Amino acid sequence: MSADVHRIAVFGGVYSNHLALAAAITDARERGAQELYCLGDFGAFGPNPDKVFPLLVDADVKAMRGNYDDSIARGLDDCQCGYTDPRDNYFARLSYRYTYRKTSDRWRTWMGELPARLTLDRHGVRVLFCHGSPRQMNEFLWESATSTQFLTYLGREYEADVILGTHTGIHWQRRLPSGGVFANVGVLGRPANDGRTDVWYALVDIATASGGQPQTRVEFVPVAYDHERLAAEMREENLPAEFIETITTGWWTTCLEVLPAKERARGRF
């Protein structure tokens, strides 16, 4: 990596997967990331949400608020996840109640003070970090359902060359005609519905722009972690067997109804 490249690691939803977060922090450092970012949704799905926050603070991860964190911090009744299907909502409610009960006041306050967006300006490249989309914290931007025209509009509207988000759970990227890029960085909390137990984050290299064109490279990195240990901890916490199955198989068993047909067809269920 040349000296004029600024390398950052960007983590999506952690969903209480403290083991994957710890593994990702180590991995990102080993790969030379100079800054670490996390785009929110620290809790949900996994066990013992309070274990996540000290890892973020100790590693100096620049963190922002996702819909889950916003709900927990403000004491809302639900996670604002944006599900419409009754089964999805049943699991979302169960998970939210557990996470709410297990998050201490100290970290609730901490989350409430986080920004809803972050920016980085390096080598003439403007990077905007958001949760769902720049215009809406819980907007799902799926690869099959998001036009290049719309992403170009967002870049223009929010004055960003590079937009990075999470929220959907599945990583993807698209190069824009402007020379910029949109990337969903994936999530650390659970596998990407691809039949492997690894989770994903993004390494983003920002280089000196030439001829006024932003130069950015986004690489998705799989993270192997002790998923059996996480599954055991989830069992101890009496979390749903459906959630544990996702961790041990790599296939989603819940929150499927929000997936567009194309993304759903890649999964098992």
Q: Is 167 near Fe ion (CB under 5 A)?
A: yes
Q: How far is the CB of 211 from Fe ion (least distance, A)?
A: 37
The site map against Fe ion for 86-125 (x = CB under 5 A) is ----------------------------------------
Q: How far is the CB of 202 from Fe ion (least distance, A)?
A: 16
Cβ distance to Fe ion smaller for residue 41 or 161: 41
Q: What is the 3-state secondary structure (H, E, C) of the chain?
A: CCCCCEEEEEECCCCCCHHHHHHHHHHHHHCCCCEEEECCCCCCCCCCHHHHHHHHHHCCCEECCCHHHHHHHHCCCCCCCCCCCHHHHHHHHHHHHHHHHHCCHHHHHHHHCCCCCEEEEECCEEEEECCCCCCCCCCCCCHHHCCHHHHHHHHHHCCCCEEEECCCCCCEEEECCCCCEEEECCCCCCCCCCCCCCEEEEEEEEEEEECCEEEEEEEEEEECCCHHHHHHHHHHCCCCHHHHHHHHHCCCCCCCCCCCHHHHHCCCC
Cβ distance to Fe ion smaller for residue 83 or 225: 83
**Residue nearest to Fe ion according to CB distances in the complex:** 167
* Residue range at the interface with Fe ion (CB under 5 A); choices 2-10, 33-41, 181-189, 212-220: 33-41
Can you tell me which of 18, 24, 41, 255 binds Fe ion, judged by CB under 5 A? 41
* Residue range at the interface with Fe ion (CB under 5 A); choices 112-120, 150-158, 165-173, 245-253: 165-173
Residue ranges in 49-88 that form contacts with Fe ion under rule CB under 5 A: 66-67
Q: How far is the CB of 9 from Fe ion (least distance, A)?
A: 19
Cβ distance to Fe ion smaller for residue 96 or 225: 96
Cβ distance to Fe ion smaller for residue 66 or 250: 66
**Interface with Fe ion by CB under 5 A: which residues?**
41, 66-67, 167
